[in-house]
RNA sequence: GGCCCGUUCGUCUAUCGGUUAGGACACCAGAUUUUCAUUCUGGUAAGAGGGGUUCGACUCCCCUACGGGCUGCCA
């Protein structure tokens, strides 16, 4: 199979992967998944995961974007090794390599101006054809060089083919005749992306380049630079991009595209990781798994070749499982971070304590953090309880009367479900109503909601005194 | 325009020439439940189209369609 043949592992080298975003905006969901795949691959193999900010485009790069990317990765729990590398700061090294290519004869100085190149293209277009720009300086005699600005271009082979052995895409053959002599160093001596990635990946010891498949074609040009410098080519893995629910390329039109938006919407990081891992990757029937399990299972062979669409329902379902699975302390911690991210007020100590004791009965019914908070509403509020519209309806005069007869019976009982259950059932029976009819006003009185956990759980969580007080409030 | 990549239920996917094409989400029906939810049971639902190769193709090859990418002194 081509995917197996594509493998050229060098088991003697430890795995080094990297995530290399350009800081032109927030960390979008597709980039987050790319980072996750790199992280999983490296960490699952005892390797290193590096972070490099591709900030060579000074016009569009901002420190705010870099900060947002770092925040996003941190939230997702994707920790990187060593310092964050700024590509811009390595520009001297890039220029050095360009000069070395010059010395090796694998690159050349090109004095063609941008106007000349534009004119060349315009002419080709006017003829209705398309032609690669071929620099007249490729084989020029240095004696003819003008005293003018120049760029350094790769002296790319014009015949033959370049073969990309990709772990995901298989063997991809690119005709060299379809590639031009790309610019490596601009006339202002700054490197282009094409040169900078290769130099950085090489210098950083990157062994596996896992990135979006929009770079698949670029890999051929980059491979030429590796060859020109006599460097070892990394293992390529070009993964399909994520699309919106409508199958179109992900954009702002689809709403939330930044990972921080997801945090603010209350998706737990563990659920997010699980969902993103499964998006475009599979390992048999594994659906819900911990990060430790993902680390064990993740491999390049499991990555699919088609673009995957975002499915919020499945995201929610996955997150629901993770909320139910996570331990209370971690959940509370995450909840705190969520409130900050969502710009909501923090919980008081009292609320925290009550919420903690309420978790057992709300954890497995929430798919997101705000949903969890809503289910735990009864534990977060203090008297007087304000019933919402739906629950207020069940507090009519009849049910108020019932609450009045019930409350005194709650005073001298041991506060356990076993002791409370017979009392409530009996009160319901005495009034000739089903238990459901009694539960409704209880919910309204205790939580001010018509949808809550079991009334027993609520009573146990808030305690005897608070229960009686809330019932008395509602009974008058 | 040229080149490159992709295409299995609505969605994420399994399958690596021989399966009643499996699982998950969603959806529908039923059961459990003091509400909602959870949980449980069952169900609907797929190989883009057309040619080959082969005893046999979802799987290999070609063409078409559709989607995406690259084709910048952007990354």
What is chain A's mean pLDDT, rounded? Answer: 92
Percent of residues, chain A, with pLDDT higher than 90: 79
Question: CA dist A140 to A29, A95, A201, A379, A423, Å?
Answer: 47, 21, 32, 80, 100
Question: Stated in angstroms, how far is A47 CA from B52 C1'?
Answer: 47
Q: For A28-142, list the strands marked E by DSSP.
A: 48-53, 85-86, 107-110
What ipTM goes with this model?
A: 0.94
Question: Stated in angstroms, how far is A161 CA from B55 C1'?
Answer: 39
Nucleotide nearest to A283 (CA to C1'): B14
How many CB atoms lie under 10 A from the CB of residue A198? 28
pLDDT for residue A11 is more than 60: no
- When pLDDT is averaged across residues A196-219 and rounded to a whole number, the result is 96
pLDDT tens sequence across A95-150? 999 999 999 999 999 999 999 999 998 888 888 778 889 999 999 999 999 999 99
Q: Which nucleotides of B are covered by protein (CB under 7 A)?
A: 1-8, 10-14, 16, 22-27, 34-38, 67-75
Question: CA dist A390 to A354, A374, A386, A396, A436, Å?
Answer: 25, 15, 11, 12, 15
pLDDT band at A13 (very low <50, low <70, confident <90, very high): confident
Position A8 scores a pLDDT of 45
Nucleotide nearest to A153 (CA to C1'): B73
Q: Give A128 or A184, the one with higher predicted confidence.
A: A184
- When pLDDT is averaged across residues A302-330 and rounded to a whole number, the result is 94
Q: Where are the alpha helices (DSSP H) in A367-416?
A: 369-375, 377-380, 389-392, 397-409
Q: Collapsing DSSP states into helix, strand and coil, what is residue A14?
A: coil
Question: Stated in angstroms, how far is A188 CA from B40 C1'?
Answer: 69
Residues in CB range of A90: below 8 A, 6 or more apart: A196, A199, A200, A203
**From CA A239, how far away is CA A236, in angstroms rounded?**
10
Position A2 scores a pLDDT of 37
pLDDT tens sequence across A377-418? 999 999 889 999 888 888 888 889 899 989 999 998 999 998
Position A9 scores a pLDDT of 47
Question: Stated in angstroms, how far is A387 CA from B44 C1'?
Answer: 41
Nucleotide nearest to A282 (CA to C1'): B13
pLDDT for residue A10 is more than 70: no
- Catalytic residue positions of A? 252
Asked whether A468 and A407 are in contact (CB, 8 A), the reply is yes
B33 C1': nearest CA residue: A454
In the sheet with A107-110, reading across from the earlier edge strand, the strands are A107-110, A151-154, A183-185
DSSP code of A270?
H
pLDDT for residue A7 is more than 60: no
């Amino acid at each position: 199979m081509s995917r197996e043949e594509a493998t050229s592992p060098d088991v003697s080298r430890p795995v080094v992967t990297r995530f290399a975003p350009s800081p032109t905006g927030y960390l979008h969901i597709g980039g987050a998944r790319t980072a996750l795949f790199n992280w999983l691959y490296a960490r699952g193999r005892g390797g290193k995961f590096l972070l490099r900010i591709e900030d060579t485009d000074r016009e569009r790069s901002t420190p705010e974007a870099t900060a947002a990317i770092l925040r996003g990765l941190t939230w997702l729990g994707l920790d990187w090794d060593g310092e964050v590398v700024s590509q811009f700061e390595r520009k001297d090294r890039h220029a050095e390599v360009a000069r070395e290519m010059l010395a090796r004869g694998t690159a050349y100085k090109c004095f063609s101006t941008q106007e000349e190149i534009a004119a060349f293209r315009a002419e080709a277009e006017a003829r209705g054809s398309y032609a690669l720009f071929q620099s007249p300086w490729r084989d020029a005699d240095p004696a003819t060089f003008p005293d003018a600005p120049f760029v350094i271009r790769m002296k790319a082979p014009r015949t033959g083919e370049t073969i990309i052995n990709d772990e995901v895409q298989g063997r991809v053959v690119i005709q060299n005749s379809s590639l031009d002599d790309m610019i490596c160093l601009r006339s202002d001596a700054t490197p282009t992306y094409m040169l900078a990635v290769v130099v950085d990946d090489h210098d950083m010891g990157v062994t596996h380049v896992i990135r979006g498949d929009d770079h698949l074609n670029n890999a051929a040009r980059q491979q030429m630079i590796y060859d020109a410098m006599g460097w070892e080519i990394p293992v390529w893995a070009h993964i399909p991009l994520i699309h919106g629910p409508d199958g179109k390329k992900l954009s702002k039109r689809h709403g939330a595209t930044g990972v921080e938006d997801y945090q603010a919407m209350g998706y737990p990081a563990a659920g997010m990781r699980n969902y993103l891992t499964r998006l475009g990757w599979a390992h048999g029937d594994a659906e819900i798994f911990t990060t430790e399990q993902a680390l064990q299972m993740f491999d390049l062979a499991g990555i699919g070749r088609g673009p995957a669409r975002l499915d919020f329902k499945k995201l929610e379902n996955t997150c629901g499982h993770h909320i139910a699975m996570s331990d209370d302390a971690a959940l509370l911690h995450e909840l705190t971070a969520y409130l900050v991210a969502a710009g909501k007020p923090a919980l008081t100590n009292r609320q925290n304590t009550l919420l903690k004791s309420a978790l057992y009965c709300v954890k497995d019914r929430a798919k997101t953090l705000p949903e969890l908070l809503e289910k735990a509403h009864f534990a977060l509020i203090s008297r007087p309880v304000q019933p919402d519209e739906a629950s207020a309806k069940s507090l009519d005069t009849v049910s108020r009367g019932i609450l009045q007869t019930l409350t005194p019976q709650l005073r001298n009982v041991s506060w356990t479900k076993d002791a409370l259950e017979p009392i409530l059932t009996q009160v319901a029976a005495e009034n000739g109503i089903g238990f459901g009819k009694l539960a409704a006003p209880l919910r309204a009185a205790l939580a001010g909601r018509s949808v809550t956990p079991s009334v027993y759980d609520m009573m146990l969580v808030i305690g005897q005194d608070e229960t009686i007080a809330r019932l008395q409030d509602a009974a008058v």
